[in-house]
Amino acid sequence: MKHFFSSRVRVVLVIAVLLAAILAVVSNLTGLSLPDMMVQGVLTPIRSGVSSIADKAEQLYGYIFEYESLVAENEALKEELAQIREDALQADAIARDNERLRAMLDLTNSNEDYKLADAYIIGSGSVDWTNTFTINRGHNAGLEEGMCVITANNELAGIISEVGPNYSTVKTVLDSSLEISASIASSGYNGMVQGGYATGQAGLLRMNYLPSSATIRNHDQVVTTGSTIYPRNLTIGYVVDAGFDATGVAKYALLKPAADIRSLEQVFIITEYNVG
């Protein structure tokens, strides 16, 4: 009999007794029977899995709702930004219009014998010795060929060379084919000004036929002498250099144009003025 139970069997019996004791204790503490505890043991992992899936689904729904909210907010911000840009463009247009009217008023007040039309530059061109720009006014605004074009600072920009219904071409002071009767304001020496491209001084003006005895200084102001086309005392440019021409019997002066032709946006056309 003493070998009836092997050591392995005795271990199993001990474990079974311990489990029975543990289950009895747990049953007394929880009030659950052994079958109930077995059911709970099976269902608990399932419930945990279902709860985890529900939590994930709730998180996913939250992400989707938050994404839709962000998309709607992004669209609203885009519309707001577009409106701000439109308002800025309108404000800029109003500011430019006010600046245009103010400049014309200042020019009119300082030159009561002028009748003026304003225009904006819409294109430019430069080929060989020619230099022109196009403005957004033409016959419809009363413009004609030969009218003088100036800046808001009373600087000579050029002369209208071609007119269409709603545009005009302006031959600028840089154009070598344009000759302007001029004088050095401080000394009264007279000469003819034209674009310097033909003489290798592109971007500058050249004042020819000055007396060989003329004293010419840098920064001397050169102005129009007046004609049927150009009123008197429009600023043409400022002396930057001088020398004798090829004959050696006359002087010339190189001028920096008073009007910065390349950066001009707005100009004024003298449609009528008192020649006297």
**Which DSSP string do the residues of 116-133 spell out, in sequence order?**
EEEEEEEEEEEETTEEEE
231/150 Cα distance (integer angstroms): 11
Domain tally for the chain? 2
- Whether 103 is in a domain gets the answer no
In the block, which residue shows the tokens 């729904």?
61
- Whether 199 is in a domain gets the answer yes
Domain span holding position 208: 115-273
pLDDT of residue 196: 83
219 and 137: one domain? yes
| pLDDT tens digits in sequence order for the chain, 276 residues long | 455 456 666 666 666 666 666 656 555 655 555 565 555 555 556 556 656 666 666 676 666 767 777 888 888 888 888 888 887 877 776 777 777 677 767 777 777 778 889 999 999 887 767 889 999 999 999 999 999 999 989 999 999 999 999 999 999 999 988 999 999 999 999 999 999 876 778 889 999 999 999 999 999 999 999 888 889 999 999 999 999 988 888 999 999 999 999 899 999 999 988 766
142 and 261: one domain? yes
Q: Which of 217, 236, 218, 211 is nearest to 226 (CA)?
A: 236
- Whether 96 is in a domain gets the answer no
169 sits in which H/E element: strand 168-172
43 and 124: one domain? no
126 and 227: one domain? yes
138 and 265: one domain? yes
- Whether 67 is in a domain gets the answer no
256 and 143: one domain? yes
In CATH, what number is assigned to the domain containing residue 195? 2.40.10.340
Residues linked to residue 126 through DSSP beta bridges, in sequence order: 131
38 and 134: one domain? no
- Whether 87 is in a domain gets the answer no
121 and 46: one domain? no
235/151 Cα distance (integer angstroms): 10
217 and 144: one domain? yes
Beta carbons of 253 and 239 less than 8 angstroms apart:
yes
Q: What token pair was written down for 189?
A: 């020496």
pLDDT of residue 77: 84
- Whether 98 is in a domain gets the answer no
268 and 136: one domain? yes
- Whether 128 is in a domain gets the answer yes
In the block, which residue shows the tokens 């269409």?
164
168 and 243: one domain? yes
Beta carbons of 152 and 264 less than 8 angstroms apart:
no
- Whether 183 is in a domain gets the answer yes
Which residue among 39, 55, 71 closes a domain? 55
pLDDT of residue 22: 65
Which residue among 36, 55, 74 closes a domain? 55
Q: What token pair was written down for 95?
A: 């500011």
132 and 268: one domain? yes
